[in-house]
Amino acid sequence: MYRYDEFDARFVKQRVEQYRGQVARRLSGEMTEDEFKPLRLQNGLYLQLHAYMLRVAIPYGTLNAVQMRKLAHIARTYDRGYGHFTTRQNIQYNWPKLEDSADILDALAEVEMHAIQTSGNCIRNTTADAYAGAAADEIEDPRVWCEIIRQWSTLHPEFAFLPRKFKIAVTGAAQDRAAIRVHDIGLAIKRNEAGEIGFEVLVGGGQGRTPMIAKKIRDFLPKDYLLSYLEAILRVYNMLGRRDNKYKARIKILVHETGTEELTRMIEEEWEALRRVTSIDIPPEEVKRIEAYFAPPAFETLADTNVAFEAKRFEDKAFAQWVRHNVKPHRVPGYVSVDISLKPVGGIPGDATDAQMDLIADLTDCYALESEIRVTHQQNLVLPHVKQSDLYALWQALAAAELATPNSGLISDIIACPGLDYCGLANARSIPVSQAISNRFADLEQQAHIGPLELKISGCINACGHHHVGHIGILGVDRKGEEHYQLTLGGRPDNEAAIGKITGPGFSADGIVDAVETVVRTYLNIRLSEAEPFIDCLSRVGADPFKERLYGEKAA
Greatest Cα-to-Cα distance within the chain, rounded to the nearest angstrom = 68
User: Binding to other proteins by residue 539, rule CB under 8 A?
Assistant: no
- What's the CA gap between 332 and 246, in Å, rounded? 47
Q: Which of 178, 187, 433, 464 binds other proteins (CB under 8 A)?
A: 433
Q: Which of 6, 193, 304, 445 binds other proteins (CB under 8 A)?
A: 6
- What's the CA gap between 189 and 488, in Å, rounded? 31
Answer for the pair 388, 335: CB distance below 8 angstroms, yes or no.
yes
Q: Which of 26, 190, 385, 527 binds other proteins (CB under 8 A)?
A: 26
Answer for the pair 468, 491: CB distance below 8 angstroms, yes or no.
yes
User: Binding to other proteins by residue 245, rule CB under 8 A?
Assistant: no
Q: Which of residues 499-528 bind other proteins (CB under 8 A)?
A: 509-510, 513
Closest CA to 58 of 286, 377, 359, 291: 377
**Rounded to the nearest whole angstrom, what is the least distance from the CB of residue 204 to other proteins in the complex?**
19
Answer for the pair 362, 65: CB distance below 8 angstroms, yes or no.
yes
User: Binding to other proteins by residue 355, rule CB under 8 A?
Assistant: yes
For residue 296, CA distances in Å to 78, 107, 305, 551 come to: 36, 29, 21, 53
Answer for the pair 485, 428: CB distance below 8 angstroms, yes or no.
yes
Angle between helix 143-153 and 284-293 (nearest 10) = 120
Strand order in the sheet with 482-489: 415-416, 455-458, 472-479, 482-489, 501-502
Which one of the spans 46-54, 105-113, 296-304, 324-332 is the region binding other proteins (CB under 8 A)?
46-54
User: Binding to other proteins by residue 398, rule CB under 8 A?
Assistant: no
- Run of H or E residues at 391: helix 391-400
User: Binding to other proteins by residue 283, rule CB under 8 A?
Assistant: yes
User: Binding to other proteins by residue 483, rule CB under 8 A?
Assistant: yes
DSSP at 387: E
Q: Which of residues 94-113 bind other proteins (CB under 8 A)?
A: 94-99
Given the complex with other proteins, which of 353 and 446 has the nearer CB atom? 353
Strand order in the sheet with 91-93: 45-47, 52-56, 91-93, 82-85, 351-353
Q: Which of 77, 192, 396, 439 binds other proteins (CB under 8 A)?
A: 439
**SS3 readout for 232-254:** HHHHHHHHHCCCCCHHHCCHHHH
Closest CA to 139 of 190, 202, 200, 84: 190
Site string for other proteins, 287-326 (x = CB under 8 A): --x-------------------------------------
Which one of the spans 251-259, 326-334, 388-396, 426-434 is the region binding other proteins (CB under 8 A)?
426-434
Q: Which of 478, 532, 536, 548 binds other proteins (CB under 8 A)?
A: 478
Given the complex with other proteins, which of 380 and 388 has the nearer CB atom? 380
Given the complex with other proteins, which of 279 and 305 has the nearer CB atom? 279
Given the complex with other proteins, which of 392 and 485 has the nearer CB atom? 485
For residue 67, CA distances in Å to 3, 95, 243, 421, 468 come to: 12, 20, 38, 28, 33
Which one of the spans 165-173, 331-339, 351-359, 374-382 is the region binding other proteins (CB under 8 A)?
351-359
**Rounded to the nearest whole angstrom, what is the least distance from the CB of residue 184 to other proteins in the complex?**
16
User: Binding to other proteins by residue 224, rule CB under 8 A?
Assistant: no
**Rounded to the nearest whole angstrom, what is the least distance from the CB of residue 209 to other proteins in the complex?**
19
Given the complex with other proteins, which of 175 and 258 has the nearer CB atom? 258
Q: How many residues bind other proteins, per CB under 8 A?
A: 96
Given the complex with other proteins, which of 60 and 82 has the nearer CB atom? 82
User: Binding to other proteins by residue 397, rule CB under 8 A?
Assistant: no
Close Cβ partners of 272 (under 8 Å, ≥ 6 residues apart): none
Q: Which of residues 122-161 bind other proteins (CB under 8 A)?
A: 151-161
Site string for other proteins, 170-209 (x = CB under 8 A): ----------------------------------------
DSSP 291-310: HHHTSPP------SS-HHHH
Close Cβ partners of 548 (under 8 Å, ≥ 6 residues apart): 555, 556
**Rounded to the nearest whole angstrom, what is the least distance from the CB of residue 30 to other proteins in the complex?**
9
Given the complex with other proteins, which of 308 and 400 has the nearer CB atom? 400
Q: Which of 218, 440, 466, 527 binds other proteins (CB under 8 A)?
A: 440
